[in-house]
Amino acid sequence: MVLQGNIVDIVGKRIYKGEICVNKGIITEIRAVNHTVENYILPGFVDAHIHIESSMLVPSEFAKIAVVHGTVATVSDPHEIANVLGVKGVEFMIENGKKVPLKFHFGAPSCVPATSFESAGAIIDSEDIKKMMENPDIKYLAEMMNYPGVLFDDSEVLAKIQHAKNNHKPIDGHAPGLRGEEVTKYIAAGISTDHECYSYDEALEKLQKGMKVIIREGSAAKNFEALIDLLPKHFENMMFCSDDKHPDDLLLGHINQLCERAVAKGMDVFKVLQVACINPVKHYNLDVGLLQKGDAADFIMIEDLEKFKVLETYINGEVVARNDTSFVKDVAFEVLNNFNTDKKNISDFEFKSSAQKIRVIEALDGELVTNQIAVISLIENGNLVSNTTTDVLKMTVVNRYKNEKPAIAFIKNFGLKEGAIASSVGHDSHNIIAVGVSDEAICRAVNLIIENRGGVCAVNPSEEKIVPLPVAGIMSDKPAKEIGAAYAALDAMAKKMGSTLRAPYMSLSFMALLVIPSLKLSDKGLFDGTSFKFTSLEI
């Protein structure tokens, strides 16, 4: 195969008319040739940190959409399915991903369960990590969220890190807001990246101390605007990622969108493309071609270097997408699950109290961090209830792995005026999480999730809608476009019910993420992520 275009040599910082010769999936020659083709050829995009599960798609279905946007590879943390199904879940992701052309590179989840303060479906200990690190299909130790364990020299945490070092594999970080001497110690432990920076100064400090910073722009957490001005000076030590990308957003674009936005700010296109295409391959030692002779023929053809409209995507010399059409084929797979709780009663969601004030989670649109605020309570018949006037709504997390009493809290900024929304995508343990205007609505939503053994749903007085997620309770067994459309309809329903959040279900899924401050809810109770201990709802 011979392909002509304007060759974008990112490392050499030059563009020239030329052609690429490919034989048996390998680039055999790149040479300068005069021609009339106006399109550009460059290495494919790499998402430097993503949980495929958050797209609600299995890897093979994720690949169908990602290749259309020029993505040829991902650095994927199977942390979500691992918290449900353990090592078996990680093996499912690897094997399913191998059946399609897109190059998935999976890590070993370092924190399963993420904390001891929630109920997960599995445990991955340091001995499991040792075996996984010896597996060539495992490319790195995935995000070390237990940064207190690193700082306080927890023997189990340090053993996991050492197993990665023994196998010469990178160690990913996860330390939002960590600064000063604490982040110095965290980095010294061998942790090389962080995708959780949410301020310019935080990211700059981490860069200056030798860490690579990954700019995240996902469906809920959006840090592009806060961090992008670091790119011109620090491009050699930065990457792009989505972290969590819901299916409707994935249909619209991927890493290509971040390139367009960065270039629109006047940034050097070669620096932007080094961040998007080159740095992840170098840092993680990925089996991905970089448009060089002898490399695997992994590259894309785009219309221009401003909008980054992808015309064709090639992986191992095979065209896998052309003009918004994906050629990735369907893959058969076994549906695994772990849902073992019974349906609930309305009374299960009551919280008897006479407290005049309560602690409330303040959700911040586009952020994973929350605030802790004190609010005057609303009590009916001795039961704390939602207050739609002040937008303080009842919230619950329900253990999906066994029958336990639901945990109750209250949350501000979800905006619902009727009904409830619920999801079994609840980071990190993927218990059922719901927010609603009444105990009855919350109960209906939770039971709809239980009946389907996983999903995301919305209920109101006249309607109920669900996107079932039978694969581990967090992924669909349906095609990507079908799920993307169904999820978009569900998102629209939640907003019609009053939610003002840009991505209400993605935001909901992170309200049980205890490792990110400040106030969250697990199935075991209200949790203060700053002091890292449980706290009381009542003040």
Summarised one tens digit per residue, pLDDT across range 354-411 is 999 999 999 999 888 899 999 999 999 999 999 999 999 999 999 999 999 999 999 9
Alpha-carbon distance 52 to 145, whole Å? 18
Q: Which residues contact 121 (CB under 8 A, 6 or more apart)?
A: 83, 84, 85, 86, 338, 400, 401, 429, 430
Whether residue 297 lies inside any domain: the answer is: no
Looking at the structure, tell me whether residues 377 and 280 fall in a common domain: no
pTM across the whole model: 0.93
Looking at the structure, tell me whether residues 276 and 378 fall in a common domain: no
Residue 246 pLDDT greater than 90, yes or no: no
Looking at the structure, tell me whether residues 105 and 235 fall in a common domain: yes
- Centre a 10 Å sphere on the Cβ of residue 354 and count the other Cβ atoms it contains: 9
What's the confidence (pLDDT) of residue 100? 98
Mean pLDDT confidence for 313-341: 96
Whether residue 519 lies inside any domain: the answer is: yes
The domain of 277 spans 44-286
Looking at the structure, tell me whether residues 277 and 356 fall in a common domain: no
Strands (E), 159-274: 171-173, 193-194, 212-216, 238-241
Residue 519 pLDDT greater than 90, yes or no: yes
Residues 437-483: pLDDT tens digits?
999 999 999 999 999 999 999 999 999 999 999 999 999 999 988 99
Looking at the structure, tell me whether residues 231 and 355 fall in a common domain: no
Structure token digits, residue 374: 């004190």
Question: pLDDT band at residue 265, thresholds of 50, 70 and 90?
Answer: very high
Whether residue 506 lies inside any domain: the answer is: yes
Strands (E), 285-406: 299-302, 310-315, 318-322, 325-326, 357-363, 370-376, 379-380, 383-384, 392-398
Structure token digits, residue 85: 């199904």
Whether residue 305 lies inside any domain: the answer is: no
Q: Which domain-ending residue is among 270, 286, 302?
A: 286
Looking at the structure, tell me whether residues 274 and 380 fall in a common domain: no
Alpha-carbon distance 329 to 475, whole Å? 18
- Only one residue has tokens 């059409």, namely 325
User: What single-letter DSSP state applies at residue 267?
Assistant: -
- Radius of gyration of the chain from its Cα atoms, rounded to whole angstroms: 23
Helix (H) or strand (E) holding 76: strand 71-76
Interhelix angle 87-97/126-133, rounded to 10 degrees, is: 20
Looking at the structure, tell me whether residues 221 and 370 fall in a common domain: no
Mean pLDDT confidence for 5-9: 98
Residues 84-105: pLDDT tens digits?
999 999 999 999 999 999 999 9
Q: Work out how many domains the chain is built from and give that number.
A: 2
